[in-house]
Amino acid sequence: MGSILTEQRERSIDASQWASGNQIERDLVLTDADFARIRELIYQRAGIVLAEHKREMVYSRLAKRLRHHNMTRFTDYLVRLERQPEAKEWEAFTNALTTNLTAFFREAHHFPLLAEHIRNKPGPVTIWCSAASTGEEPYSLAMTLLETLGPKAAQSKVIATDIDTDALSKARMGIYPLEQVRKLDEARVKRFFQKGTGQQQGLARIRPEVSELVEFLPLNLLAPQWPVKGPFDAVFCRNIMIYFDKETQAKILKRFAPLMKPEGLLFAGHSENFSYISDAFKLRGQTVYTRA
Protein backbone atom coordinates (compact mmCIF):
# COMPACT_ATOMS: atom_id res chain seq x y z
CA MET A 1 0.00 0.00 0.00
CA GLY A 2 2.81 2.37 0.99
CA SER A 3 4.54 1.82 -2.32
CA ILE A 4 1.34 2.44 -4.32
CA LEU A 5 1.04 5.78 -2.60
CA THR A 6 4.68 6.63 -3.18
CA GLU A 7 4.40 5.68 -6.84
CA GLN A 8 1.33 7.93 -7.20
CA ARG A 9 3.08 10.71 -5.33
CA GLU A 10 6.05 10.52 -7.70
CA ARG A 11 3.73 10.84 -10.69
CA SER A 12 1.88 13.78 -9.20
CA ILE A 13 5.11 15.62 -8.34
CA ASP A 14 5.97 15.62 -12.03
CA ALA A 15 2.49 16.85 -12.87
CA SER A 16 2.26 19.52 -10.16
CA GLN A 17 5.63 21.01 -11.03
CA TRP A 18 4.33 21.47 -14.51
CA ALA A 19 0.96 22.77 -13.38
CA SER A 20 2.45 25.40 -11.11
CA GLY A 21 4.31 26.76 -14.11
CA ASN A 22 6.75 28.56 -11.83
CA GLN A 23 9.28 25.86 -11.16
CA ILE A 24 9.69 24.63 -14.73
CA GLU A 25 9.93 27.25 -17.39
CA ARG A 26 8.14 26.28 -20.58
CA ASP A 27 10.90 27.64 -22.72
CA LEU A 28 11.44 24.51 -24.81
CA VAL A 29 9.27 23.47 -27.72
CA LEU A 30 7.73 20.00 -27.51
CA THR A 31 5.29 19.33 -30.35
CA ASP A 32 2.72 16.52 -30.54
CA ALA A 33 4.91 14.84 -33.15
CA ASP A 34 7.98 15.06 -30.86
CA PHE A 35 6.07 13.50 -27.98
CA ALA A 36 4.76 10.71 -30.21
CA ARG A 37 8.30 10.02 -31.46
CA ILE A 38 9.72 9.94 -27.93
CA ARG A 39 7.06 7.43 -26.90
CA GLU A 40 7.94 5.26 -29.89
CA LEU A 41 11.69 5.44 -29.29
CA ILE A 42 11.58 4.55 -25.58
CA TYR A 43 9.20 1.70 -26.37
CA GLN A 44 11.56 0.31 -29.01
CA ARG A 45 14.61 0.78 -26.83
CA ALA A 46 13.42 -0.23 -23.36
CA GLY A 47 9.89 -1.60 -23.80
CA ILE A 48 8.54 1.23 -21.66
CA VAL A 49 4.99 2.23 -22.57
CA LEU A 50 4.57 5.94 -21.88
CA ALA A 51 0.91 6.91 -21.53
CA GLU A 52 -0.55 10.04 -23.16
CA HIS A 53 -0.70 11.82 -19.81
CA LYS A 54 3.09 11.51 -19.35
CA ARG A 55 3.77 14.45 -21.65
CA GLU A 56 4.67 16.83 -18.83
CA MET A 57 6.88 14.23 -17.21
CA VAL A 58 8.69 13.69 -20.51
CA TYR A 59 9.15 17.43 -20.91
CA SER A 60 10.67 17.91 -17.47
CA ARG A 61 12.92 14.85 -17.64
CA LEU A 62 14.30 15.46 -21.14
CA ALA A 63 14.55 19.24 -20.72
CA LYS A 64 17.85 18.65 -18.90
CA ARG A 65 19.23 16.85 -21.95
CA LEU A 66 18.21 19.68 -24.29
CA ARG A 67 19.74 22.29 -22.01
CA HIS A 68 22.90 20.21 -21.77
CA HIS A 69 23.16 20.44 -25.58
CA ASN A 70 22.05 24.11 -25.68
CA MET A 71 18.94 23.20 -27.66
CA THR A 72 15.49 24.72 -27.41
CA ARG A 73 13.45 22.43 -29.67
CA PHE A 74 12.79 18.75 -28.98
CA THR A 75 12.65 18.23 -32.75
CA ASP A 76 16.33 19.19 -33.08
CA TYR A 77 17.28 16.93 -30.19
CA LEU A 78 15.43 13.96 -31.72
CA VAL A 79 16.84 14.52 -35.21
CA ARG A 80 20.36 14.58 -33.80
CA LEU A 81 19.70 11.52 -31.67
CA GLU A 82 18.28 9.47 -34.50
CA ARG A 83 21.06 10.42 -36.88
CA GLN A 84 23.54 8.75 -34.53
CA PRO A 85 22.31 5.27 -33.58
CA GLU A 86 25.52 4.60 -31.64
CA ALA A 87 25.64 7.92 -29.77
CA LYS A 88 26.22 7.93 -26.01
CA GLU A 89 23.20 10.25 -25.81
CA TRP A 90 20.90 7.23 -26.24
CA GLU A 91 21.98 6.09 -22.79
CA ALA A 92 21.20 9.50 -21.28
CA PHE A 93 17.84 9.55 -23.13
CA THR A 94 16.91 6.14 -21.70
CA ASN A 95 18.18 6.95 -18.20
CA ALA A 96 16.09 10.14 -18.20
CA LEU A 97 12.89 8.27 -19.02
CA THR A 98 13.12 5.42 -16.51
CA THR A 99 11.39 5.66 -13.14
CA ASN A 100 13.68 4.48 -10.37
CA LEU A 101 11.41 4.60 -7.36
CA THR A 102 12.53 1.97 -4.83
CA ALA A 103 13.22 1.45 -1.12
CA PHE A 104 15.02 -0.88 1.29
CA PHE A 105 12.86 -3.92 2.10
CA ARG A 106 10.06 -2.60 -0.12
CA GLU A 107 7.07 -4.97 -0.05
CA ALA A 108 8.54 -6.41 3.12
CA HIS A 109 6.55 -9.67 3.15
CA HIS A 110 8.77 -11.05 0.34
CA PHE A 111 11.95 -11.13 2.42
CA PRO A 112 10.83 -13.70 5.07
CA LEU A 113 9.48 -15.83 2.18
CA LEU A 114 12.88 -15.70 0.52
CA ALA A 115 14.60 -16.49 3.85
CA GLU A 116 12.39 -19.56 4.29
CA HIS A 117 13.15 -20.69 0.74
CA ILE A 118 16.93 -20.52 1.09
CA ARG A 119 17.39 -21.44 4.77
CA ASN A 120 18.21 -25.11 4.27
CA LYS A 121 19.75 -24.98 0.79
CA PRO A 122 22.87 -27.14 0.77
CA GLY A 123 24.99 -25.08 -1.66
CA PRO A 124 25.56 -21.38 -2.40
CA VAL A 125 22.45 -19.34 -3.22
CA THR A 126 22.21 -17.18 -6.35
CA ILE A 127 19.56 -14.48 -6.74
CA TRP A 128 18.91 -12.28 -9.76
CA CYS A 129 17.51 -8.84 -9.04
CA SER A 130 16.45 -7.82 -12.55
CA ALA A 131 15.38 -4.19 -11.94
CA ALA A 132 17.87 -3.16 -9.29
CA SER A 133 17.48 0.60 -9.72
CA THR A 134 19.64 2.52 -7.18
CA GLY A 135 20.53 -0.59 -5.17
CA GLU A 136 18.12 -0.65 -2.24
CA GLU A 137 16.47 -3.89 -3.41
CA PRO A 138 19.62 -5.96 -4.12
CA TYR A 139 21.25 -4.75 -0.87
CA SER A 140 18.08 -5.80 1.02
CA LEU A 141 18.47 -9.22 -0.62
CA ALA A 142 22.12 -9.42 0.45
CA MET A 143 21.14 -8.46 4.01
CA THR A 144 18.55 -11.26 3.96
CA LEU A 145 21.24 -13.71 2.83
CA LEU A 146 23.49 -12.64 5.72
CA GLU A 147 20.68 -12.80 8.29
CA THR A 148 19.54 -16.23 7.08
CA LEU A 149 22.76 -18.00 6.19
CA GLY A 150 25.27 -16.32 8.51
CA PRO A 151 28.92 -16.80 7.45
CA LYS A 152 27.80 -19.24 4.70
CA ALA A 153 26.32 -16.23 2.86
CA ALA A 154 29.83 -15.32 1.73
CA GLN A 155 29.62 -17.98 -1.02
CA SER A 156 26.22 -16.70 -2.20
CA LYS A 157 25.58 -13.94 -4.71
CA VAL A 158 23.04 -11.33 -5.76
CA ILE A 159 23.32 -10.39 -9.45
CA ALA A 160 21.78 -6.93 -9.71
CA THR A 161 20.93 -5.55 -13.15
CA ASP A 162 19.14 -2.54 -14.60
CA ILE A 163 18.99 -0.68 -17.90
CA ASP A 164 19.67 2.67 -16.20
CA THR A 165 23.42 3.20 -15.94
CA ASP A 166 23.05 6.31 -13.73
CA ALA A 167 20.96 4.34 -11.25
CA LEU A 168 23.59 1.58 -11.29
CA SER A 169 26.38 4.08 -10.55
CA LYS A 170 24.49 5.26 -7.48
CA ALA A 171 23.83 1.66 -6.52
CA ARG A 172 27.53 0.76 -6.72
CA MET A 173 28.42 3.69 -4.43
CA GLY A 174 26.07 2.27 -1.79
CA ILE A 175 25.64 5.63 -0.02
CA TYR A 176 22.16 6.72 1.07
CA PRO A 177 20.62 9.55 3.07
CA LEU A 178 20.40 8.61 6.73
CA GLU A 179 16.71 9.54 6.86
CA GLN A 180 16.01 6.81 4.30
CA VAL A 181 18.12 4.25 6.20
CA ARG A 182 16.54 5.13 9.57
CA LYS A 183 13.26 3.59 8.37
CA LEU A 184 14.91 0.16 8.82
CA ASP A 185 15.10 -1.76 12.10
CA GLU A 186 17.72 -0.32 14.41
CA ALA A 187 19.52 -3.71 14.46
CA ARG A 188 19.80 -3.72 10.66
CA VAL A 189 21.08 -0.15 10.57
CA LYS A 190 23.80 -1.00 13.11
CA ARG A 191 24.82 -4.25 11.44
CA PHE A 192 24.72 -3.29 7.78
CA PHE A 193 25.50 0.48 7.55
CA GLN A 194 28.32 2.81 8.51
CA LYS A 195 27.13 6.29 9.45
CA GLY A 196 29.06 9.11 7.81
CA THR A 197 30.94 11.78 9.75
CA GLY A 198 32.32 15.19 8.73
CA GLN A 199 31.43 15.86 5.13
CA GLN A 200 29.53 12.56 5.02
CA GLN A 201 27.29 13.61 7.94
CA GLY A 202 23.67 12.70 7.24
CA LEU A 203 24.67 9.81 4.96
CA ALA A 204 25.10 6.09 5.56
CA ARG A 205 27.23 3.65 3.59
CA ILE A 206 26.48 -0.03 3.02
CA ARG A 207 29.11 -2.11 4.83
CA PRO A 208 31.49 -4.17 2.66
CA GLU A 209 30.13 -7.38 4.21
CA VAL A 210 26.88 -6.60 2.32
CA SER A 211 28.20 -4.98 -0.87
CA GLU A 212 30.65 -7.84 -1.47
CA LEU A 213 27.68 -10.13 -2.10
CA VAL A 214 26.21 -7.93 -4.85
CA GLU A 215 27.43 -7.67 -8.43
CA PHE A 216 25.94 -4.84 -10.53
CA LEU A 217 25.66 -5.14 -14.32
CA PRO A 218 23.83 -3.13 -16.99
CA LEU A 219 21.13 -5.25 -18.60
CA ASN A 220 18.21 -4.36 -20.83
CA LEU A 221 15.46 -6.96 -20.42
CA LEU A 222 14.61 -6.39 -24.09
CA ALA A 223 18.11 -7.27 -25.30
CA PRO A 224 18.40 -10.51 -27.30
CA GLN A 225 21.24 -11.72 -25.04
CA TRP A 226 21.33 -11.36 -21.25
CA PRO A 227 24.78 -11.37 -19.58
CA VAL A 228 23.50 -13.53 -16.69
CA LYS A 229 23.61 -17.29 -16.47
CA GLY A 230 21.71 -18.87 -13.62
CA PRO A 231 20.41 -21.25 -12.51
CA PHE A 232 18.88 -18.90 -9.94
CA ASP A 233 17.25 -19.84 -6.66
CA ALA A 234 15.13 -16.70 -6.95
CA VAL A 235 14.46 -13.94 -9.46
CA PHE A 236 13.19 -10.57 -8.31
CA CYS A 237 11.32 -8.74 -11.06
CA ARG A 238 9.32 -6.20 -9.09
CA ASN A 239 7.68 -2.99 -10.20
CA ILE A 240 9.07 -3.06 -13.71
CA MET A 241 6.59 -5.18 -15.69
CA ILE A 242 3.97 -2.45 -15.04
CA TYR A 243 5.89 -0.29 -17.52
CA PHE A 244 5.72 -2.97 -20.26
CA ASP A 245 2.84 -4.20 -22.44
CA LYS A 246 1.57 -7.79 -22.16
CA GLU A 247 3.54 -9.00 -25.18
CA THR A 248 6.84 -7.79 -23.72
CA GLN A 249 5.96 -9.22 -20.30
CA ALA A 250 5.20 -12.64 -21.83
CA LYS A 251 8.50 -12.70 -23.76
CA ILE A 252 10.50 -11.84 -20.64
CA LEU A 253 8.72 -14.39 -18.44
CA LYS A 254 9.38 -17.10 -21.03
CA ARG A 255 13.08 -16.29 -20.89
CA PHE A 256 13.20 -16.25 -17.07
CA ALA A 257 11.92 -19.81 -16.68
CA PRO A 258 14.96 -21.73 -18.05
CA LEU A 259 17.32 -19.54 -15.99
CA MET A 260 15.72 -20.68 -12.74
CA LYS A 261 16.19 -23.81 -10.65
CA PRO A 262 13.15 -26.10 -10.90
CA GLU A 263 11.99 -25.07 -7.41
CA GLY A 264 13.09 -21.42 -7.90
CA LEU A 265 10.86 -18.51 -6.92
CA LEU A 266 9.89 -15.49 -9.01
CA PHE A 267 8.94 -12.38 -7.02
CA ALA A 268 6.61 -9.81 -8.64
CA GLY A 269 5.51 -6.34 -7.56
CA HIS A 270 2.28 -5.69 -5.66
CA SER A 271 0.30 -4.68 -8.76
CA GLU A 272 1.80 -7.20 -11.17
CA ASN A 273 -0.06 -10.38 -12.05
CA PHE A 274 1.77 -12.88 -14.23
CA SER A 275 -0.89 -15.62 -14.10
CA TYR A 276 -2.75 -14.44 -17.18
CA ILE A 277 0.36 -13.56 -19.13
CA SER A 278 2.49 -16.67 -19.19
CA ASP A 279 1.94 -20.35 -18.54
CA ALA A 280 5.62 -20.67 -17.60
CA PHE A 281 4.82 -19.76 -13.96
CA LYS A 282 2.08 -20.49 -11.47
CA LEU A 283 1.12 -18.35 -8.50
CA ARG A 284 2.27 -19.66 -5.13
CA GLY A 285 0.67 -16.74 -3.29
CA GLN A 286 1.54 -13.20 -2.15
CA THR A 287 2.83 -12.22 -5.61
CA VAL A 288 5.38 -15.05 -5.58
CA TYR A 289 5.46 -17.54 -8.47
CA THR A 290 7.05 -20.95 -9.08
CA ARG A 291 7.91 -22.55 -12.43
CA ALA A 292 4.91 -24.36 -13.86
Ligand X SMILES: C[S@@+](CC[C@H](N)C(=O)[O-])C[C@H]1O[C@@H](n2cnc3c(N)ncnc32)[C@H](O)[C@@H]1O
Question: Could you confirm whether 162 is annotated as catalytic?
Answer: yes
Pick one of 28, 38, 48, 78: the residue that binds ligand X (CB under 6 A). 48
CB 47 → ligand X: shortest distance, Å?
5
Question: Beta-carbon neighbour count of residue 66 at 10 Å?
Answer: 19
* Residue 284 marked in a binding site: no
CB 181 → ligand X: shortest distance, Å?
15
The answer to whether the Cα torsion of 250, 256, 258, 263 is positive or negative is negative
Q: Does 46 bind ligand X (CB under 6 A)?
A: yes
Scanning 44-52, 59-67, 111-119, 283-291 for contacts with ligand X by CB under 6 A, the matching segment is: 44-52
Among residue numbers 207 through 266, which ones bind ligand X (CB under 6 A)? 219-222, 238-240, 243
* Residue 100 marked in a binding site: yes
* Residue 220 marked in a binding site: yes
For residues 28 and 244, which CB has a smaller minimum distance to ligand X in the complex?
Answer: 244
User: Which has the closest alpha carbon to 49: 199, 214, 197, 244?
Assistant: 244
Task: Say which residues have a Cβ less than 8 Å from residue 142's Cβ, sequence separation at least 6.
Answer: 153, 158, 210, 211, 213, 214
> x/- contact string, 102-131, with ligand X (CB under 6 A)?
x---x------------------------x
CA–CA separation, 292 vs 243, rounded Å? 24
Q: Which of 61, 65, 164, 205 is catalytic?
A: 61
CB 288 → ligand X: shortest distance, Å?
14
Q: Which of 162, 164, 205, 233 is catalytic?
A: 162
User: Which has the closest alpha carbon to 159: 228, 231, 223, 221?
Assistant: 228
Among residue numbers 154 through 193, which ones bind ligand X (CB under 6 A)? 162-164, 167
Among residue numbers 62 through 101, which ones bind ligand X (CB under 6 A)? 98-101
CB 219 → ligand X: shortest distance, Å?
6
* Residue 221 marked in a binding site: yes
* Residue 22 marked in a binding site: no
Question: Could you confirm whether 61 is annotated as catalytic?
Answer: yes
CB 223 → ligand X: shortest distance, Å?
8
Residues flagged as binding site for S-adenosyl-L-methionine? 100, 102, 106, 137, 162, 220-221, 238-239
Q: Which residues are catalytic?
A: 61, 162
Q: Which residues bind ligand X (CB under 6 A)?
A: 46-48, 98-102, 106, 131, 133, 137, 162-164, 167, 219-222, 238-240, 243, 269
